[in-house]
Amino acid sequence: NHLPMAVQAKIEDHPCYSDEAHNYFARMHVPVASRCNIQCNYCNRKFDCANETRPGVVSKRLKPLEAVDKVLAVAKEIPELSVVGIAGPGDAFASAKQTMQTITELSRVAPNLKLCVSTNGLMLPEHVDELVAKGVEHVTVTINTLRPEVGAKIYAWIYYDGQRLSGEKAARILIGRQLEAVSMLTQLGVLVKVNTVYIPGVNDRCIVEVSREIQRRGAFIHNVMPLISKPEFGTAFSKAGQREPTAAELDAVREESSGSIQIMKHCRLCRADAIGRLGQDKRAMFESAGTPSVA
Ligand code: SF4
Ligand code: SF4
């Protein structure tokens, strides 16, 4: 493990980042962010955000104060709970009010829990200062390419500054905002993980470029995830016949990137309402606080 000591100290009880910790500590996602401000071609918006969570799953949305009550109930039953994340079902900053209210309240009533947020990054720069002020230590940004011409194939549109934009223009804005946010966060000591969805034939050459650029900007880990394109998910990519990468292709791009940055391999793509240790699902124990529906 070649991570600096300061980073090691921040991840030692975080189940997602430390191979050791994922056996002992638990995480929980609270599904408070329901809307999205972009349209990825691998997403079907009837389901949770495919940037961080498992495809084909529908989480029941919670209001911020319901989410806080649920966290407190879970913390009582699962003392090894160390991290609470906001990872959908949409984008954390498309409904920034809900996300920030949840974070503010949690940092007040449960200051010992680490807070994590994941986002497509479009509206992240303006929230960096507030996230840091509220003690958020971990942020995940999904960056699939640095090239606008490739981005135009991955994102159908973005909603930005009161307008719906598409094509290379939209991708250029999104990529610029993502990179700006990564630099701002790392300069303030926040641990940044970057997710990239590997779409064979579309962003193959982009993966290592993303690894290098985010390493330069201070991110500490790169999570390269395979595109999931099952016909039953009804995404733009699956309708267009876009295939998933093979295991060998995924290994090859991860291997190429591992020369630049630490590559995450044990991300389980948890639901936006996951509870428990990684690989464990304790949602059923807390059904009265929000019954999850499974697609
Ligand atoms: Fe779907 Fe997430 Fe992309 Fe939004 S950011 S379109 S919720 S995958
Ligand atoms: Fe951790 Fe990945 Fe699950 Fe998020 S989706 S809680 S990073 S294992």
pLDDT in tens, 79-117: 889 899 988 789 999 989 999 999 999 999 999 999 999
Q: Which ligand neighbours the alpha carbon of 16 most closely?
A: 2
In this prediction, residue 269 carries a pLDDT of: 75
User: How, if at all, do strands 138-142 and 191-198 pair?
Assistant: parallel
In this prediction, residue 285 carries a pLDDT of: 77
Amino acid residing at 216: R
Contact indicator for 174, 38 with CB cutoff of 8 Å = yes
Q: For residue 201, give both structure tokens.
A: 């034939």
In this prediction, residue 293 carries a pLDDT of: 37
Mutate to test the pocket of ligand 1, among 37, 86, 120 (most ligand atoms within 8 A of CB): 120
Q: For residue 113, give both structure tokens.
A: 């829990």
Q: Which ligand neighbours the alpha carbon of 53 most closely?
A: 2
If you count DSSP H runs as helices and E runs as strands, how many of each does the chain have, helices first?
Answer: 9, 10
Q: For residue 281, give both structure tokens.
A: 């699902």
Query: Residue with the nearest Cα to atom 6 of ligand 1?
Result: 39
Bridge partners for 175 per DSSP: none
Q: CA-to-CA distance for 88 and 33, rounded, in angstroms? A: 5
Q: In what order do the strands lie in the sheet with 38-40?
A: 38-40, 155-160, 163-165
The ipTM, to two decimals, is 0.89
What H or E segment, with its residue span, contains residue 83?
strand 81-86
Give the pLDDT confidence of 183-218 residue by residue, as tens digits: 999 999 999 999 999 999 999 999 999 999 999 999
Contact indicator for 32, 62 with CB cutoff of 8 Å = yes
What H or E segment, with its residue span, contains residue 45?
none
Q: Which atom, in ligand 2's list, is nearest to the CA of 83?
A: 6
SS3 77: helix
Q: How far does CA 133 lie from the centroid of its chain?
A: 20
Q: Which atom, in ligand 1's list, is nearest to the CA of 88?
A: 7
- What is the C-alpha radius of gyration for the chain, rounded to an integer number of angstroms? 18
The parts of the chain modelled with pLDDT lower than 50 are: 289-295
- Residue 33 main-chain phi, psi, to 5 deg: -100, 100
